[in-house]
Structure 1
Amino acid sequence: MHKKDREPAVAGMFYEADAAALRGHLRDLFALAKPPVGTEEVAAVVVPHAGYIYSGKIAASGFNQIPRDAKIERVFLIGSSHRAAFNGAAIYTQGDFLTPLGRVEVDSRVAGELVESNSGIFADENIHSGEHSLEVQLPFLQVHLQNSFKLVPLLIGPHDAIGASKVSTSLAKWFRPGNLFVISTDFSHYPPYEIAQKVDADTAAAVLKNDPEELLSVLEKNRKLDLDGLSTSMCGWSSVLTLLNITRQATDIRWEEIDFGNSGDAQIGDKERVVGYRSMAVFRSSETKKEVSGFSLDKREKIWLLDRAHQVLNLAVKGRVIKKPENLNSENLNMTTGAFVSLYNNGKLRGCIGGFGEDEPLWKVIDRMTAAASLHDSRFDPVSENELSEIEIEISVLTPRRKVAQVDEIVPGKHGIFVEKNGRSGTFLPQVATKTGWSLDELLGHCARDKAGLGWDGWKDADVFVYEALVFGDRTV
């Protein structure tokens, strides 16, 4: 097949055609963007696709949830066609996508596999040729992500709920750590400012419920209201529906709204006729179920541990020690088990210390590890009193370790690993795999070399153990 790259169609209209000017504008937008709201791996973002002067800051807030050094193998960039009506999804397989910032390689192997999946996905360069909804997202990715990635670009039929369901079936296997889904959509089109605010809030609430039927119900309710100027509540609803069909089946994700507004907020915006914008993120939690290998904590117990950890943190930074809790009757909180305590400031790790010591109660382990993480993590300066109001805490309660006979027993993202040889040891919590996107070999290599000091291949003749973790924090309880 003759290769034909997809040339920019809206450079100079939706965003700058000059590379230097475009980079400068994007830097300004990211400087205004909302900071990260979670520490888990970002599985997907929903971002607007209007001209950057209108929705650029809100889009940047969505992309800003992704760590800049994230190792993302491929980006599934999904939008709804604005220029052609069809069923199913059109994928671009003929070449790569070009922007003023350079080439973005299309993953032709995965694209070809999707075409062969018999799910209504077909190759069509013409449908993609003038479409803006995918193109405008690429410069954000090119500037924000430090590591290279491959692209899987799909346009969903704009009026096809059944087709979206079929497409999601083929995409579901790719919704996994190391891949990022980017969904491109604006919200309400052309109502007055105040009506847009209400309609968009209702539509966003439906999406955040992670229920495809709820979204379709709200869209139909809005349509029947026959509101002044409202032509659609969400132009990319079929793309969002595709994602919801996938995330509804996932057990390890949570939705968060990041930023919102509409075109009337722009300096040149007209409040009589606006377009709504929202950015959202889907976080892949390393543990969302209440139970891990027979151990569980209820919400009250999680809140108690987090509150106590904050008390310990505040006292430790001031050189004081917390008193032993009185009348603590919880069997779980008095169970002897290991735990790690991680401290974050504006989404960045500020300290993390833990242990597998199974000879003291959980509450005491949390006390000790919180104080140690705040003052004695050698990678960081001690936490200062000025930072206390900004520190967020994440607790990982550990199950007992189990030695593996073969490393292929390890499931990255589910299992933490512990590597030990000749008195040297190192560990990675389960969430490290999801946050870094490392393969199993990379996870073992980094742990052996960076944590245990055994060298990259040191795990091959070491004892390797696995464990699980019940992970919760200030943002997830």
Structure 2
Amino acid sequence: MNKSTLIFFAMLMLLFIGCRSQDHPKQHIRQAAVAGQFYHKNPAQLKNQLKQFFSEAKTKRAGTTRAVIVPHAGYVFSGQVAASAFNQINPDRKIKNVFLLGSAHRVWVNKASVFGGEAYETPLGQVRVNTEIVHKLLENSAFSYNEKAHKNEHSLEVELPFLQHHLKNNFQIIPILVNTQDQREIQSIAKALKPYYTQNNLFVISTDFSHYPSDKDACKTDSLTAEAVASGNTEELLMQIEKNNQKGVSNLKTSMCGLSAMLVFLDIIEDQGYTIEKIEYRNSSDSQYGNKNRVVGYWAMRVVSKKAIKAKEASFSLNATEKNYLLKLARNTIDQYLKTKRIPAIPENDLTPNLKTKTGCFVTLHKNGRLRGCIGNFSGTLPLAEGVQEMAVAAATEDPRFNTVRSEELKSIKIEISVLTPLKPIDNLKDFELGKHGIYIQKGMHSGTYLPQVADDKNWTKEEFVSHCSKYKAGLGKDGWKKAKLYTYEALIFSEKSHSNE
């Protein structure tokens, strides 16, 4: 074979390889499509805005966040809620890949469209696409690449600046758009993605909730929809969406614009031992640019392993020194606040790791053996020591059942503190143990609780305990709990009386 023949065959091979390469999507950098519209185009302004959002975001809860559910509206409307969701992720965590799941708003896509370019670009720089995973997904018939669908779509793009700002380590993305609600197609997409739902990867589900009802109607509708999402069950979510539609809510166009993406994700985690937690809710009327007559709803939610929550519950305890410190802190804080209207600062050196742990707590005041005030919260948004300070002041000055505690009265008051474990949903009272568990009842905007120790003062049965809480604390009537969400929790309880000799 002469030299010219070799050259001819070499050219044929290059041509063949070039033609075969068209089977893969064209490699390119996707430019930011909605910078300057949905968020600041100027990098410095964008960084300042994100910094402000995260400074006011809900505090990270215990356990490794495996996925977040976030809104995708303009930052002036939903940015604060989105930050509360992303703030649940440990910024130091080494995340290899972020799977972005959203619905296409401008171009309909069949099944799922995975972005086939090299990177997404935002004012904060480029985020690389994991092209190896993309190519594997494109080998599956459930996936294709619709370039037009990705080109101007905002639902995935707006999440990237939050990730770029918050995560300290490099990561790659797999951007996926879904429109189908066909059950078989949803299952096929989920099956292909399930192997990637691992500790090293993060899933971001981009969706807003109700579109265009009034503020009042949105709050009710979005609460019900979020409860259905938190169930982790696709059928329950679809049933709730249908109920929303049948109610005839004025101007309700959709209950969830990213429903397809949500259905895919719920199918991925079904029966895998994960809990979906609600973090924060707002709607567009909470923005200075919003209108209460026509709103869009936004939820921040996160997904965490049930085992991680149980491990955290089992591992937390306080020693006698820490308990005594909190009791003295509560008393001193009330005393100082009644005199100066200020909560005293806590020296940083006083705080052990346990006292810095973010967990819910209640502070109860007794005078001559009778209740004098009790206030608390479940959210655990503050370190325990700071939470005790706030609840101590609230119990002394804000309990609507009592007059404000007077300074001269404080010496006659005994303080009790209850440190709470995270809420655990239950289906019936079989999982409720009187005297060990507290009960939390929630239905719509109504909620109420009885601490575990309330059972010590009453000769009630389980049903009486829950019925009284339902009627007098949640405002649902004595039988209202039967159609409400029920949660139990445990409390680490200690008081000045019980620790006076320690």
| Counterpart selection for 1:82 from 101, 105, 109 | 105
Determine if contact 1:90/1:122 at 8 Å carries over to the other structure: yes
Residue correspondence of structure 1 range 252-267 to structure 2 within 5 A: 253-267=274-288
Identity of aligned residues (%): 38
Looking at structure 1, the residues matched to 67 and 387 of structure 2 have their Cα atoms a distance apart, in angstroms, of: 30
| Counterpart selection for 2:123 from 100, 109, 112 | 100
Aligned residues: 328
| Counterpart selection for 1:130 from 109, 127, 152 | 152
Compute the displacement of 1:288 (Å): 6.7
Map of 1:313 onto structure 2: 322
What are the Cα deviations for residues 336-395 of structure 1, in whole angstroms up to 9, with x where unaligned? xxxxx98363559xxxxxxxxxxxxxxxxxxxxxxxxxxxxxxxxxx9976766997889
1:386 to 1:122, Cα distance in 2 relative to 1, 3 A: closer
1:385 to 1:156, Cα distance in 2 relative to 1, 3 A: closer
Amino acid at match of 1:50: A
Map of 1:17 onto structure 2: 41
Amino acid at match of 1:209: S
Which structure would you say has the larger RCO, counting Cα contacts within 8 Å and 6 or more residues apart?
1
Amino acid at match of 1:279: A
Looking at structure 2, the residues matched to 288 and 196 of structure 1 have their Cα atoms a distance apart, in angstroms, of: 31
SS at match of 1:133: helix
SS at match of 1:134: helix
What are the Cα deviations for residues 185-228 of structure 1, in whole angstroms up to 9, with x where unaligned? 00000011101111000000000111110000001111122210
| Counterpart selection for 1:207 from 203, 221, 229 | 229
Determine if contact 2:356/2:385 at 8 Å carries over to the other structure: no
1:191 to 1:72, Cα distance in 2 relative to 1, 3 A: same
Compute the displacement of 1:94 (Å): 2.2
Amino acid at match of 2:215: Y
Looking at structure 1, the residues matched to 56 and 310 of structure 2 have their Cα atoms a distance apart, in angstroms, of: 35
Compute the displacement of 1:249 (Å): 2.6
Looking at structure 2, the residues matched to 43 and 385 of structure 1 have their Cα atoms a distance apart, in angstroms, of: 28
Map of 1:196 onto structure 2: 218
Map of 1:224 onto structure 2: 246
| Counterpart selection for 1:345 from 340, 350, 356 | 356
Compute the displacement of 1:162 (Å): 3.5
Determine if contact 2:107/2:148 at 8 Å carries over to the other structure: no
1:257 to 1:311, Cα distance in 2 relative to 1, 3 A: farther
1:318 to 1:346, Cα distance in 2 relative to 1, 3 A: closer
Amino acid at match of 2:304: F
After superposition, the CA RMSD in angstroms is 3.1
What are the Cα deviations for residues 95-145 of structure 1, in whole angstroms up to 9, with x where unaligned? 211111100000001111111133x11122221001000000000000000
Compute the displacement of 1:312 (Å): 6.7
Looking at structure 1, the residues matched to 384 and 177 of structure 2 have their Cα atoms a distance apart, in angstroms, of: 49
Amino acid at match of 1:256: E
Higher percent of residues as helix: 2
Larger radius of gyration: 2
Residue correspondence of structure 1 range 8-47 to structure 2 within 5 A: 8-36=32-60, 38-47=61-70
Gaps of 5+ in 2: 1-20, 329-351, 360-382, 391-417, 423-488, 493-502
| Counterpart selection for 2:76 from 33, 53, 72 | 53
Compute the displacement of 1:11 (Å): 0.5
Amino acid at match of 1:164: I
| Counterpart selection for 1:139 from 145, 161, 184 | 161
Determine if contact 2:322/2:355 at 8 Å carries over to the other structure: no
Looking at structure 2, the residues matched to 53 and 240 of structure 1 have their Cα atoms a distance apart, in angstroms, of: 24
Query: What's the TM-score, normalizing by structure 1?
Result: 0.63
1:7 to 1:309, Cα distance in 2 relative to 1, 3 A: same
What are the Cα deviations for residues 234-268 of structure 1, in whole angstroms up to 9, with x where unaligned? 000111111111122312x2111001010011011
1:268 to 1:316, Cα distance in 2 relative to 1, 3 A: closer
Amino acid at match of 1:9: A
Map of 1:271 onto structure 2: 292
1:289 to 1:279, Cα distance in 2 relative to 1, 3 A: closer
Amino acid at match of 1:265: D
Compute the displacement of 1:152 (Å): 0.6
Map of 2:193 onto structure 1: 171
Residue correspondence of structure 1 range 72-471 to structure 2 within 5 A: 72-118=95-141, 120-157=142-179, 159-251=181-273, 253-287=274-308, 309=318, 313-315=322-324, 343=354, 345=356, 347=358
1:269 to 1:90, Cα distance in 2 relative to 1, 3 A: same
Amino acid at match of 1:52: Y
Amino acid at match of 1:109: E
Determine if contact 1:158/1:236 at 8 Å carries over to the other structure: no
1:16 to 1:148, Cα distance in 2 relative to 1, 3 A: same
Looking at structure 2, the residues matched to 108 and 277 of structure 1 have their Cα atoms a distance apart, in angstroms, of: 31
Determine if contact 2:62/2:309 at 8 Å carries over to the other structure: no
Looking at structure 2, the residues matched to 140 and 346 of structure 1 have their Cα atoms a distance apart, in angstroms, of: 25
Gaps of 5+ in 1: 291-298, 320-340, 349-382, 396-471
Looking at structure 1, the residues matched to 269 and 353 of structure 2 have their Cα atoms a distance apart, in angstroms, of: 27
Determine if contact 2:31/2:121 at 8 Å carries over to the other structure: yes
